[in-house]
Structure 1
Amino acid sequence: MPQLVRVDHVSLTVTDLEVSHRFYTDVLDFIQILDFGYGRIYLHNPSAFILALVAHPERAGGRFTELTTGLDHVGLAAGDLDDLHAWEERFRQLGVEFTPIREAEFGYHLNFRDPDGIALEFGVSKPDFEAAMELVKSGQLTKDQIQEYARQMLAALADG
């Protein structure tokens, strides 16, 4: 089977390219690398994550909602829990719409929105989940082994 090796980029449709540009460069520290007029390409250093922002001339609709079929949210990884708290404080200082950090089964999440209401999330995995993902990334596990490992992790959480 052909391999999917990583997410290459995410492209978001926005209502105001200038407002979105300021959010992604000033708040999240992306660097603009290309400008096509109706769209721009950004790179994040050092993650090498590529983001495209596009203001299609024929775009329709208003503020984003995850209740419409399509994108629910984009999940980004923070370095650690201290970084997650630093992001939360940065959002507070810059007036970014966010919900406080929440603990979940596999880690911690900080949900926030861009100027169009597009749902974004910073997350930090708990050590057990991070170790599991490193095993998966190694390419040494079969599909059955991954599914069994996931069942074991979920059972351990339920027994919690």
Structure 2
Amino acid sequence: MTFPALTHVAITVSDLAVSTAWYNRLFDAEPVLDEDEESGAYHHAVYALGGGTLFGLHTHTADGPGEGFDERRVGLDHVAFALSRDELESWTARLDELGVPHTGIKHAHYGSGISFRDPDNIALEFFAPPA
């Protein structure tokens, strides 16, 4: 039996309006869903990405601990979006066009990637496995 693919990733953001505008520009798309969750515990804006994956932004009605994102804390380290090696240069140019700071293309034996961060400092990456 094959382990199933990821269907969605959801991240909690501090300011939904700021994050939605930022991700709209990054994804060049609007959310396919933007609503209060049925229980009223959170609001979510959800994007449909290639390959059928959904990417959600959540804001909760109850206050959280108030600490910013840090990948060294237990929990999420980063989210990586799949690319081919041929697409890395064009995504570097796209991040530059959007004014998003990034690491440039970094190569390793396990693949190549471009790391960057969202408005809440959440670590994101464009990643291409080795050819």
TM range (shorter): 0.7 to 0.9
Give the aligned partner of residue 113 of structure 1: 117
Tell me the matched-pair count. 124
Give the aligned partner of residue 82 of structure 1: 86
Select 1:52's aligned residue among 52, 56, 77: 56
Aligned to 2:22, the other structure's residue is in SS state helix
Structure 2 contact 7–52 (Cα < 8 Å) conserved: no
Select 2:72's aligned residue among 67, 72, 80: 67
* Greater percentage in helix: 1
Structure 1 contact 66–119 (Cα < 8 Å) conserved: yes
Aligned to 1:55, the other structure's residue is in SS state strand
Following superposition, the deviation at residue 47 of structure 1 comes to 2.6
Aligned to 1:61, the other structure's residue is in SS state coil
Give the aligned partner of residue 16 of structure 2: 17
Aligned to 2:56, the other structure's residue is in SS state strand
Structure 1 contact 73–118 (Cα < 8 Å) conserved: yes
The answer to whether the aligner puts 1:42 opposite 2:41 as a matched pair is: no
Per the normalisation by structure 2, the TM-score is 0.85
- Give the alignment's Cα RMSD to 1 decimal: 1.6
Give the aligned partner of residue 126 of structure 1: 130
Structure 1 contact 110–121 (Cα < 8 Å) conserved: yes
Distance 2:78 2:114 in 1: 12
Per the normalisation by structure 1, the TM-score is 0.71
Q: Please list every run of at least 4 consecutive aligned residues from structure 1 whose deviation after the TM superposition is greater than 6 angstroms.
A: none
Greater Cα offset, 56-65 or 112-121: 56-65
Distance 1:51 1:18 in 2: 16
Distance 1:19 1:114 in 2: 10
Aligned to 2:80, the other structure's residue is in SS state strand
Larger radius of gyration: 1
Aligned to 1:91, the other structure's residue is in SS state helix
Unaligned runs of 5+ in 1: 128-160
* Greater percentage in strand: 2
Structure 2 contact 45–57 (Cα < 8 Å) conserved: yes
Letter in 2 for 1:88: T
